Amino acid sequence: MFELESVRKVFDDGSVALDGISLTIGPGEHVAFIGPSGAGKTTLFRILNLTLRPTAGTVRLDGTDVAGLGESELRKFRRRIGTIYQQGNLVGRLRVVHNVLAGNLGRWSTAKAFASLVRPQGVEIAEQTLARVGISEKLYARTDQISGGQQQRVAIARVLVQDPDIILADEPVSSVDPSLAVSIVTLLRDLSAESKKTLLVNLHSVELALAAFPRIVGIRGGRILFDLAPEKLTGELLQALYAGHDDAGRQIERFHEILPVSGVCRPLRK
């Protein structure tokens, strides 16, 4: 689905966000990306969702080199990618139904999009999708008046309405408490598996990454430090990934709690 070769991103101020990233993601794969703050994970996701162009290197989506695509062709490829952001990127003053139906914007005309703000177009689809994420009763609630966890479910529902081939979730649970984080990541993983979508998630929590994903990519300083199955990940690698960062000790401690000497991950706690 994705092929990245020697991808490098340098911003206008001279800072190097990514340096020599080579990565292949197959259709239907579920991959978690971990690493300290400032490692380059969000920049990588912006390149993967085609909103940011690399300074050097090659990015292929489904075999097509996207570097040579014009804006019109890029828009077609972007429709195949749904992104869930850290803060949800919802319009708080609108009702939940409008935010969910925004998943149609890539295929609706401007006139239909404006008409839907007055009279929602496809309410049944919105209601069915909200039922899939467990909050159908919030259909007509004002979005900024529901909880943070419910807002993230609205963001997931919006992506499901979009029906992309690939879902990118950039720190989707950093603003909710740990118990909600588990339920949201589990929901995202299970819905993606059900519809055979490729799922890539940036996670701050090593515990969640190890317990929920079969492939873990560690990024530090704009480079890939490791790309492994959870059972292959060691405390030494994790120490190298987070060395010098404030949360290093906590991440190592949690790692040893969930990955015993046997090398088998304990199940995700509900």
Pairing of strands 198-202, 56-61: unpaired
pLDDT at 173: 86
pLDDT at 2: 96
pLDDT tens string 164-220: 999 999 988 877 787 788 888 999 999 999 999 999 999 988 989 999 999 999 999
- Consecutive H or E run containing 151: helix 148-162
Is 142 a residue whose pLDDT tops 60? yes
| Dihedral sign of CA atoms 247, 43, 170, 63 in order | negative
Tokens of 250: 């906590």
Q: What are phi and psi of 122, to 5 degrees?
A: 95, 40
Question: pLDDT-based confidence at 262, cuts 50/70/90?
Answer: very low
Is 259 a residue whose pLDDT tops 90? no
Please give the model's pTM, rounded to 2 decimal places: 0.87
Tokens of 41: 């994970």
Tokens of 147: 């909880």
pLDDT tens string 34-78: 999 999 999 999 999 999 999 999 999 999 999 888 888 998 899
Question: pLDDT-based confidence at 119, cuts 50/70/90?
Answer: confident
Pairing of strands 223-228, 216-220: antiparallel
Instruction: Identify the CATH number of the domain defined by range 1-80+204-270.
Output: 3.40.50.300
The rounded distance, in Å, linking the Cα atoms of 185 and 193 is 12
pLDDT at 21: 97
Judge contact between 30 and 195, C-beta under 8 A. no
Angle between helices 148-162 and 178-194 (to 10 degrees): 10
The rounded distance, in Å, linking the Cα atoms of 245 and 102 is 38
Closest C-alpha among 216, 211, 168, 171 to residue 45: 168
Average of per-residue pLDDT across 128-145: 94
Is the model more confident about 10 or about 110?
Answer: 10
Distance of CA 140 to the CA centre of its chain: 26
The rounded distance, in Å, linking the Cα atoms of 167 and 70 is 23
